[in-house]
Structure 1
Amino acid sequence: MRTTLDFTPFFRSSIGFDRMLNALEATSRIETANNWPPYDITKTGEDDYRITMAVAGFSQDELGITQERNVLVVSGQKAGEDAGQYLHRGIAGRTFAQRFELADHIKVVGANLDKGLLTIDLKRDLPEEMKPRRIEIADYGVPPKAEFTKIPAGKHAA
């Protein structure tokens, strides 16, 4: 049994978080039946992340990674059907498309396929204007410091 959460109280008391709350609401509606291929998500640094997917049996040409806005899609499709007669088939080779919702300013840095593990490195790259900065507080009792600009020699102020 699955319950959906009501985020309405948060919408009433927060400003600018509507996109995040909409994403949480959408996530609560998504069925989690698609758990193949298995994957891990690791935080490897302050702003660095890594997704590791077990894609045994897929070659580099049969895998695709696309990022569009804040969605990362990892897909795999086998090139040809193996015509062998199986007595038991335990290695899954079915087509898949795994979607990951990314936060703002998360970029794919690189991807690597080694020994059946697909590793995707991600990094949060905040623009300079979004990084924390110190704001000076003016004291009303003290006049502000005057900033003077030097005029190069030979030039006259207008």
Structure 2
Amino acid sequence: MTRLDLQPFFRSTIGFDEIVDMLDGMTDNNRKPNQYPPYNIEKIKEEIYRITIAVAGFQDEDLDITKHNHLLSVEGRMTRKAEQENEEHTYLYKGIAERSFQLQFRLADHMNILGVDLENGMLCITMEREVPEALKPQKLKINTKKKEKTTLIEGNSEK
């Protein structure tokens, strides 16, 4: 595996500590990717995004979704009632995972949550990136001064 050294880049930057920490965390080889529950991240329109998480067996009261600064956390806890219902059964084969989980997603600046829906075991979190007008690129007008018309002064051009 090729290792990329970004230290020369970070020598000339100030105030980007969070980005450095995030990049270090992404390259940590000891960290296993979170595979439960499975999820999709979709770009719906230019500035509209959706995270869809498969949460079969979870009710809305079992799920806790919080957004703090640039971190979206989704936590699912199996309630004791659901666990007791499972104890009443004898499974011949159990392939549906029913365990607690926690997922975290780093969000870009100006991401707003439009809605959270739970339907047919799928949790959908829809977001929109709304960049304020003051931060959007602006087309600047170039002012030009009109040249004054030069007049020829009569004189003797011979020397």
**TM-score range normalised by the length of the shorter chain:** 0.7 to 0.9
Counterparts of residues 7-156 of structure 1 (less than 5 Å): 7-12=6-11, 19-29=18-28, 31-80=31-80, 81=83, 82-83=86-87, 84-139=89-144, 141=145
User: How many percent of aligned residue pairs carry the same amino acid?
Assistant: 42
Distance 1:127 1:8 in 2: 32
User: How big is the shift at 1:12?
Assistant: 4.1
SS at match of 1:94: coil
Q: Tell me if the contact between 1:5 and 1:25 (Cα under 8 Å) persists in the aligned partners.
A: no
What is the aligned-residue RMSD (CA, Å)? 2.5
Contact 1:41-1:50 within 8 A present in 2 as well: yes
Task: Give SS of 1:25's match.
Answer: helix
| Mapped partners of 1:12, 1:18: distance in 2 | 11
Q: What is the SS of the residue equivalent to 2:27?
A: helix
* Structure 1 CA distance for aligned equivalents of residues 55 and 117 of structure 2: 12
TM (norm. structure 1) is: 0.77
Q: TM-score, normalised by structure 2?
A: 0.77
Structure 1 gap segments, 5+ residues each: 144-158
**CA shift at 1:127, angstroms?**
1.4
1:53-109 CA distance string (max 9 Å, x none): 111111111111110111101110111212122222111110000011111111211
How far 1:14 sits from its partner (Å)?
A: 5.9
Count matched residues: 141
Deviation at 1:34, TM superposition (A): 1.9
Unaligned runs of 5+ in 2: 148-159
